[in-house]
Amino acid sequence: MSIQEWFEKRKEAQIERRAKEIKGVENDAPELWTKCVHCETQLLKTDLEENMMVCPHCDYHYKINARKRIKQLVDEDSFEELFKEIKPIDPLGFFDTESYANRLQKAQTKTGLNDAVITGLAEICGHKIAIAVMDFEFMGGSMGSVVGEKVTRIMEKALELKIPMLAVTSSGGARMQESALSLMQMAKTSCAAGKLDEAGILYINLLTEPTFGGITASFGTLGDIIIAEQGARIGFAGRRVIEQTIRQKLPEDFQTAEYLLKYGQVDIVSKRKNLRRTLANILEMHEK
């Protein structure tokens, strides 16, 4: 290899390294650019990442996974994960077009999670909280036995430590593959929320895109304060089911956070970039 060749190789490697840096560490897509799914503006992926996965042009809030959400909300290095050892099984031997066991394994590989919620202790601007964050990427964030158990345990932890509880939801509802066992998680988590209520412990819901079905009909709406992230769709029944039942066209903004605010169903609609500050303020004002 001539000196010149060596220099050229080095230069190429440098360019590649820089490109990787720009792409961001978590990014596995080869392109640097992306088109906003909402306004179709060309965006540099790093700009989108740096803007908390919110389009800098149209303010569209992208769905984000549980790890990213935790990173955005809580103080750096303050998160201590709990109940990670609770793992799902296939209690009914459920098989549709594919076995539940298979679907679980795929979701686990895809997300690196055991199930659709991460639970633990953290701090927001120095305020200690117990936190549960759902992950939509894991089977649509659906709640089966594991999600129900982890949410219940972290609520019990909040009760034990007498610290506020924050539940960040993103879910299509109860998990069909565990049938009635999933349904009962709605009762279990709601009863646990009842304990927090009786003990006078602050419970905050943060509803994010999307929160539906068994989640809005259980721990997802039992908070003392309900915050919805801008643009999130929130409801009990899905839009299609409602349209089929009533045979009417629904308003364009039906079941959005802003729509629910208008009808008195949530306390606050917040942009992603303001969430941390809003939460910190609320926590501060409820400190005993």
Partner 1 sequence: MATVLDFEKPIIDIQNKIEELRQLSENSGLDLEDQIESFEKQAEDKKKELYSTLKPSQKLQIARHSERPKFLDYVHIMCEDFIELHGDREGMDDRAIIGGIAKLNGKPIMIIGIQKGKSTKENLEYNFGMPQPQGYRKALRLFKHANKFKMPIITIIDTPGAYPGIKAEETGQGAAIAMNLREMSKLSVPVISIISGEGCSGGALGLAVSNVVMMLEHAYYTVISPEGCASILWRDAGKFADAAEALKITSKDLLELGIIDEEIVEPLGGAHTDHVETAKAMKEAILRALENLSKMSSEELRIQRYDKFRKMGKFIES
Residue ranges that bind partner 1, judged by CB under 8 A:
85-89, 91-92, 94-97, 144-146, 148-149, 152, 174-176, 178-188, 190-194, 197-198, 213-222, 235-238, 241-242, 245-246, 248, 250, 254-255, 263, 265
DSSP lists the bridge partners of residue 81 as 120
In the bound complex, what is the minimum distance in angstroms from residue 8's beta carbon to partner 1? 52
Nearer to partner 1, 6 or 95 (CB): 95
CA 7 to mean position of chain CA atoms: 47
Residue reference for tokens 């501060």 = 284
- Which amino acid would we find at residue 64? I
Nearer to partner 1, 25 or 180 (CB): 180
Residue reference for tokens 């988590």 = 189
Nearer to partner 1, 62 or 83 (CB): 83
In the bound complex, what is the minimum distance in angstroms from residue 199's beta carbon to partner 1? 12
Distance CA 278, CA 200 (A): 21
- Three-class DSSP category at 199: helix
At 168, which helix (H) or strand (E)?
strand 165-171
Nearer to partner 1, 24 or 238 (CB): 238
Distance CA 202, CA 165 (A): 6
In the bound complex, what is the minimum distance in angstroms from residue 55's beta carbon to partner 1? 27
